[in-house]
Every structure is written in C-alpha cells, then in structure tokens.
Structure 1
C-alpha cells in the first residue's frame, strides 16, 4: 500500500492553508463590515453590502498575487458550505404544514418566473447564465438560490454580482410597496404572510415587509420563505441535467451519471435540514448555526465582489435590470392572483 500521500498530507494541508489565508482573511473582514451594516439597517441584510464592499475594494486595487487563492476559496468553497448550513433553518414538520398551504402559490409563481426568464430573457438577448441567475433568484430565494445555482452553471463573478444586485433592488422596492398593497386589499396577517413569503426573495426583506405590515404576520411569512428555499434542490438538479446534456451534445443520462450530477452541497443541505427535523438542537446552538450560515454567505459574496469584472457588468447594460423588473412584477401579480383564486386573499 502506497503511504506517501498520507505521509505528505499534513504538509500539503499546511501549504494550502497558507496559500488561502491572506485572501480568506480579507473576505472575512469584508463580511464583518457587511454584518455591521446589516445591524444598522436590518432590511439591507449582509449579502449585498459584502458584495458592494468587495467591488469597491476591487475598483481601488484588485487583489491578486498572494490574495488570489483565498478570494477564489471564499467565492467557491465557502459559498458551498454556506448553502449546506442554510438547511438548519428548515424542518420537515414546517415543510409539511406550511408547504401544503403555500404550494399552489409557490409553484405558480416559480413556473411563471422561470418561463418568463427563459422567454423574455431570450427576447432581450440576455446571456443564458445571467437570465438563469436572475430567474432563480427572483423565483426562489434571492442570493441563496443564486449561490446554489452559480457553481452548477459555471457563472462568472460579474454575472453573479449583477444578478444579486438586481434581485436586491426589487427586494428593496417590495419592502416599501408590499405593505401598501396588503393594506389596500385588506389582507389578513395570514394572507399577507403567504403573499410576502412567496413573492419577496431575501429573508431580511421578507422580515422587513412583514414587520411593516403587522408584527403578527412575521412568523408565518418567514416560515413560508424558508419552505420556498427548499425549491433550490429540484431546480438545481434540473439545471445540472440540462448543463450535462448541453456540454455533452445531448448524450443520454444513466442513473449513475444523474446521481453524479447532484452537487455535494445540495446533498449536505438536505442532510442538515433532515437532521434539524429529527434532532432537538438546543436553541442557542441553532441560532449560532443560522448566524454562521448568513455570515458565510457574506464571506462568499465578499470574495465574488473582489473578483468581479466591472467591465462585464457595464457591457451587460440595462437589459438584465429590465428582466428583473418584469419578473418581480409577474411574481407579485401571480401570487395575488393565485391567492384570490384559492380564496386566501
């Protein structure tokens, strides 16, 4: 048996840690600053500030050389770990109870959003990966969905940055507009929680919108939003299959190949969500894990910001922004329509 790989493992691990340390430290500092911003302005969250701080630092002086490995590590591996830990926010009991109530609205808004992203995005001549990110970000759960999908489709940092910024812009609009819509339509707190949870993307924006409408709408809205997060899994698997067929000239998929296409971090996400349902995690530990998952998303987006190609964003122009506006409007109208049809408005 060859033992040399095992014998050299400590030195290789040490060398790897040394290589990523400078860049990782920089993204950690950015995440800390972004977390501070989120404490001052909770509706903003920490994801967008981390991305913007990273972009600003990159504009002043793009980190290369000894920082490059750590920045890449943050924007890829830390991002995947963050997705795994997002599972701690879900439990199977919540999925079953809330899922049954919200499923018609959730599936309708998701189907409309993804179909519109494909059709309207093509009509606007928006690149495939960019319209996919904006579509899943708007239809599922903002930055978390973008984080999960971007490694699968091989999205560039500039595409991720534009998609996250676009999603946040219309989330901010939703925070202000949704409570007005809710009061104008005379919604109950339950109906508004379902409306906000299925039509607003980022968790912090859902919390802000529900809080402005009525404190009693907050709990249900957040649970609906978290159940909606679970849609990341089937959408990611479908995208993995589509990417495989596209890269392999439509070659047929065997069961073995299909299983191999499922990203490890999505499996980890489901394992953590299942464990959260079966094991009584102490409240203090649970809250700490949620905080860590949110912080790691900020670390990853800090890395993405540092490696963003601003020129590519400029070249993208106004079309992706228009797509985000159209998709957000369609999701809002579809949610209200299904709520009305099902007698929940």
Structure 2
C-alpha cells in the first residue's frame, strides 16, 4: 500500500512539473520568435498565447499536466506582475511634473469609463469589457492579466482581451509611424501622444522611433505614468467587483477582502527600484525573469482556453476595443494641443 502511495505521489509530482515545463518551453520559443521583424511589435505575451492555442489544437494536453499549467497561469502570473514593478521608476514620473500626470489620469479615467459605457450599450459581458478597457487605458496585456484575478475573469476572456489589444496596438504602431511623416508635429508632442494613447510598452517604443530620442524619452515617460496608475485602478476595480459579488453569508477574511496583494508587491518593487540601490544589471535580469514568468502564464492560458467561450464575446466585444482605441487617439490629439 505504501509503495502504491509513493508511486502516486511521484506521478502527481512529475505531471505537475511536466505542465510547468510545457509553459516554459512555449514561453522561451515565443521569446525567440518575438525577436524577429514584425513579431517584436506583437510582443512575447501574445505570441505565447498563440503558441499555447496552437499546441492544444495539434497536440493533446494531458489532464494530469493541468495542475502545472494552472500553477503557471495563477502563481507564476502574480510573481511576474510583482517583478514587473521594477520597470517603473516613480522618481522619473514625479520629476516630469504634474502636467504629465494630469494627462495620464485624464487618459485612463476617460478610456475606462467610455469603454465600459460602450460595453453596456452593446450588451457585451461586463468582465470582458473591464479587461479590454483596462488594457487599452493602462498598459495592454500586463494590465489585463493584473486585473483578471481581481474580477475573477474567465481564462478565455483574458486570452481574447490580450489578443485584441495586441492586434489593435500593432495596427496603431504602424498608423502612428505613417502619421508622423505626414502631420506637422514636433518630436516632443509626438512622444507625448504616443505614450498617452498606445497600448503596450513595445508599441510605444516602436512607434516613437521616427521622432528621435526626444520623442522616445517622452513616450516612455508618459507611458510609465499610465503604468503607475495600474495600482489605484486595480484597487478600485477590485473593490467594485467584490462589492457587487458580495454574499450576505460570506465571512470577512484576508481572502475575501478586495486587496490585490500582488499589486502592492508591484508597488513595493517600484519603490525599491526608485531608491536606486539595486544594480542596473540585477534590475534588468529580474525584469527579464518577469517577462518569462508572464509569458509562461500566457502560454498556460492558451493551453487552457475553451473555444466555445469566444462566441460569447462576439464581434461586439471586439468593436468595444476598436471604438475605444479610436476615441483614445482623438483624446490624445486634443490633450497634446491643449498641453
């Protein structure tokens, strides 16, 4: 009997590790693909999702390895979000002045509210609308995966939202690059526009290149201001959903409180990085680990999704993302001229 129990424990452990290793391999492969032309704009996370989907459609994902895949999509995801805070230097945002923060606050609040209203008008699932609104307003896939656990979003909704944001951001990057060559806009203003309105950091970096160093510096700075707003936005959204889904008989505990602990970990890493005590090479290494962990989580999502859920979002869900992105661009143009 003891030998049988030991065998079962050993098998469960092996299956668990096998699931994690599968997400790791897919994430590493996605990282290699992301270095190729065009794919670099898409970003490693969306490529990881697509690879996970492709693997599931071609190969069979054993039921036993599910525990390891789930570990990647939940535990490693949160650790990746915490380490992602090292990207953010709060001192640089403060030194940029209040005008940049005003722009970022207006952009984030406007985008989230208008897209949620659009979702209601088009009768799109509220959870999905919230995900794609957060991704559009703040920092793309990173915001989506950070918000998702707080609102108990389905894996399928997360995958669709991340994919939508990636495609829209990629289209936006190409459009902005062409637009800069046509319109009469100085490098500084163009950088502010790019940083205030594009989705992913990769999109911002790529689109800002035509404007030169000044444009790139301003674009990244403005974008980092939006990333910083992930913390208060996550707390507010988490609290709203927790209140709406509250149960009369539910007892109050640490687990039931709408406190996104990993977001505070994100803030802690940001504060630590802002002190300047960490060596640059260590920060770069930890950020690369963060990207790898988030990519593993996205690969896990791709391996876990149920294609039947895609129908529930439909064209209207994607339309919310398209209209929201267009309105964000128009707002950005207005803010640049007023600024």
The TM-score, its normalising length taken from structure 2, stands at: 0.90
Q: Is the 8 A contact 1:108 1:334 kept in 2?
A: no
Distance 2:181 2:75 in 1: 43
The residue number in structure 2 matching 1:49 is 47
The residue number in structure 2 matching 1:323 is 320
Counterpart selection for 2:266 from 243, 265, 269: 269
The residue number in structure 2 matching 1:10 is none
CA positional deviation for 1:287: 1.2
The residue number in structure 1 matching 2:221 is 223
Counterpart selection for 1:40 from 18, 36, 39: 36
Moved more, 135-144 or 111-120: 111-120
Please give the secondary structure, in 1, of the residue aligned with 2:123.
coil
Q: Is the 8 A contact 1:108 1:335 kept in 2?
A: no
The residue number in structure 2 matching 1:168 is 166
RMSD of Structure 2 on Structure 1 (CA):
2.4
Using a 3 Å threshold, how does the CA distance of structure 1 residues 288 and 188 change in structure 2: closer, same or farther? same
The TM-score, its normalising length taken from structure 1, stands at: 0.89
Using a 3 Å threshold, how does the CA distance of structure 1 residues 257 and 338 change in structure 2: closer, same or farther? farther
Using a 3 Å threshold, how does the CA distance of structure 1 residues 245 and 291 change in structure 2: closer, same or farther? same
The residue number in structure 2 matching 1:119 is 117
Q: Is the 8 A contact 1:183 1:213 kept in 2?
A: no
Structure 2 gaps of 5+ residues are: 1-8
Q: Is the 8 A contact 1:20 1:70 kept in 2?
A: yes
The residue number in structure 2 matching 1:285 is 282
Using a 3 Å threshold, how does the CA distance of structure 1 residues 44 and 315 change in structure 2: closer, same or farther? same
CA positional deviation for 1:134: 0.6
Distance 1:270 1:16 in 2: 36
CA positional deviation for 1:227: 2.3
The residue number in structure 1 matching 2:331 is 334
CA positional deviation for 1:336: 0.9
The residue number in structure 2 matching 1:303 is 300
Using a 3 Å threshold, how does the CA distance of structure 1 residues 182 and 131 change in structure 2: closer, same or farther? same
Distance 1:58 1:169 in 2: 22
The residue number in structure 1 matching 2:26 is 30
The residue number in structure 2 matching 1:3 is none
Using a 3 Å threshold, how does the CA distance of structure 1 residues 331 and 166 change in structure 2: closer, same or farther? same
The residue number in structure 1 matching 2:157 is 159
Paired positions, count: 329
Using a 3 Å threshold, how does the CA distance of structure 1 residues 300 and 98 change in structure 2: closer, same or farther? farther
Moved more, 219-228 or 126-135: 219-228
Q: Is the 8 A contact 1:62 1:307 kept in 2?
A: no
Q: In the TM superposition, what are the counterparts of 1:57-76 in structure 2 within 5 Å?
A: 57-76=55-74
Structure 1 gaps of 5+ residues are: 1-12
Q: Is the 8 A contact 2:131 2:147 kept in 1?
A: yes
